[in-house]
Structure 1
Amino acid sequence: MEPALDGVEVVLHGGVANVGAVVRVGDHVLRPSNPHTADIHRFLTDLRDAGFDGVPRPVGVDPDGRERLEYVEGDVALPPFPGWFQEPEALASVARLLARFHAASADLDLSGLEWSSEMVDPAVSELPAERAAEGAVPAGVVVCHNDVCPENVVFRNGEAVALLDFDFAAPGRPVHDLSQFVRMCVPVADDEYAESLGFAPGDRAVAVRAVCDAYDDAGGELGPEGRQAMLDLLDRSIARSGEWVRAKAEAGHPGFIEMWASVGGQETYDRRRRWWSEERHRFAAALA
């Protein structure tokens, strides 16, 4: 896109929840805030102070309520997704970035932070209320981004360098974040559905294994148990993803209304579930 001029708002395309509402103004990005924005800003600032630069630097919240962050230079894949984004090495680089992100978040003091519960890891969503209120993080749990879709990753020269949009971030197991990423970015879907989202056909089971291998090679320590947990999480997310999108569409969110219609509605999600039940064994074999 053309460089943004100071004072001129340029819409940044991509995404669903905030479609049309994220703009660039000079070296900054303005986007809708939410009840967790202040906590997310503290988290991002702490990450950067700890040496992890793969997130935007928060600037503050404007008088009109929009959050302001520094713009991250690079390339973001938008549908129909370009071939470079679908290359195995590009996906592997996202896995490496996630491994670094998870390791950095594990070392932070998260006490007092409140998070979105919309896409939280089911393994930690049942925390007792008093522990959740304290920002309790059980052993083995990090902060998950939870929405690593193509539009939320910045690349430079084919390498993932930063994550964007932490609206759904919350404590969770690393494998939960990784399963969300492969479901949306490989994607784990039948070719008809994947093509409706702008993806080319491909061996998706092999791609998922490559992502897991890259995560482990980067120190992520997914291991055999984590790979089995990924299959279980994909069972759950594929079964429920259509319900979540439909609920958002019925609530009147424009981006989700458009998404629901463009992919073909309930029939598409039903077909995806049937496809997964038939193909799951291939993914299990690839991850064994």
Structure 2
Amino acid sequence: MTAESEATARVELVGGMANAGDVFRRGDLVDRPAPRTARALHAHLVALADHGFDAAPIPVRLTADGREQLTYIPGDVALPPYPRWAMTDTALRSVGGLLRRLHEAGAAIAVDARAQWPRALADPEGGTMLCHNDVCPDNVVFREGRAAALIDFDLAAPGRPVWDVAMTARYWVPMLDPASAAAYYPAGLDALARLRILARAYGLSPQERAELPEVVEQATASCRAFVADRVADGDPLYVQALSERGGWRRWDRIQEWLVTHRETFTAALLD
């Protein structure tokens, strides 16, 4: 294949569920469905870069057929079942540090109040900073075992920093009962230790540490409602995933596990 044909060839990028099968790379660009908030989101991504955050895609253009093009960020993305290299303590610390960098840059950027930011995974208490809301392994680009960039800001919405940390903890600790975690994560992950690592790497305040376990419960309830809405709409990917992952009983089990261990997590974070 010539250099010219490599630059124009369309390569499907896998990962995630919302746009599965409809995200492609063409050379240095990613071509994907544009979210409803694309114009406001693109302005925010440009502002992040202007404030020194170089770890997110740069918008290039919106197309007439409802798609967007952004710069491609090279690296590795972990897909389920998640490999051990993505779940090391070093990787976890780098995720916490990257999220902190995003929030520090985002805190200086006014959120577009006119945009209809998606509420599906948004902080119910709202906030003045735009949270990513979906920092799952599928949306973090790694290089040499460390988180280098965040992608897929489609679910971004105003919220509190601790909400974004809670959403991130769900996926990276993970904040799941052992049976649920075993299906997609390497064996032997210590949830207590990893929650402390994430909180320290991000730099949560003592008050935020005290709040975090309960906010994780709230975030989990939002994720369940997110899935329920898509199942009710007949989305085949979510219907299949719900069936394969244990149905609603799995969600009940996760929530029960979080409530049961809330005091233990809180004590560990404040130790």
TM beyond 0.5:
yes
Q: CA separation of 1:94/1:61 partners in 2, compared to 1, >3 Å: closer, same or farther?
A: same
Deviations 1:147-194 (A, max 9, x none): 000000011111111110111111211110000000122210012111
Q: Equivalent residue for 1:231?
A: 213
Residue ranges of structure 2 left out of the alignment (5+ in a row): none
Shift of 1:111: 4.0
How many residues matched? 266
* Consecutive aligned runs of 4 or more in structure 1 exceeding 4 Å deviation: none
Give identity over the alignment, percent. Answer: 40
* Native 8 Å contact 2:13 2:23 kept in 1: yes
3-state SS of 2:264 partner: helix
Matched, 1:204 2:191: yes
Contact 1:191 1:201 survives alignment (8 Å): no
- Is the contact between residue 29 and residue 70 of structure 1 (CA under 8 Å) also seen in structure 2? yes
Query: 3-state SS of the aligned residue for 2:25?
Result: strand
Q: 1:97 to 1:164 in 2, by over 3 A?
A: same
Correspondence for 2:227: 245
Residues 241 and 111 from structure 1, CA distance in 2 versus in 1: closer, same or farther, beyond 3 angstroms? Answer: closer
- TM-score, structure 1 as length reference: 0.87
User: 1:7 touches 1:25 (CA, 8 Å); kept in 2?
Assistant: yes
How do 1:124-273 and structure 2 match up within 5 A?
Answer: 124=126, 141-216=128-203, 222-273=204-255
Report if aligned partners of 2:29, 2:72 keep a CA contact under 8 Å in 1.
yes
Match of 1:44 in 2: 45
Q: Within 2, Cα distance between the matches of 1:24 and 1:90? A: 25
TM-fit CA distance, 1:113: 5.0
The structural deviation recorded for 1:31 is 1.1
* Distance of 2:221 and 2:209 partners within structure 1: 19
Residue 276 of structure 1 corresponds to 258
**Alpha-carbon spacing, 1:13–1:155, altered in 2? closer, same or farther (3 Å):** same
AA aligned opposite 2:172? C
Aligned to 2:6: 5
State the distance in 1 between where 2:187 and 2:240 align.
21
Q: Which one is further off, 193-202 or 24-33?
A: 193-202
Residues of 1 paired with 2:84 and 2:73: CA distance?
22
The superposition leaves residues 49-86 of structure 1 with CA deviations (integer Å, 9 ceiling, x where unpaired) of 22210110111112321111110011111111111111
Q: CA deviation at 1:247?
A: 2.0
Unaligned runs of 5+ in 1: 125-136, 217-221
CA distance in 2, matches of 1:151, 1:102: 20
Counterparts in 2 of 1:251 and 1:111: CA distance versus 1, 3 Å: closer
Q: Which residue of 2 aligns with 1:118?
A: 120
Hey, what's the Cα distance between the residues in 2 that align with 1:144 and 1:109?
12
Contact 1:150–1:184 at 8 Å: present in 2 too?
yes
Aligned-residue CA RMSD (Å): 1.8
**Partner residue, 1:75:** 76
Distance 2:185 2:235 in 1: 22
1:245 partner letter? V
1:134 maps to none
TM-score by length of 2: 0.92
Deviation at 1:199, TM superposition (A): 4.2
- Letter in structure 2 aligned against 1:202: L
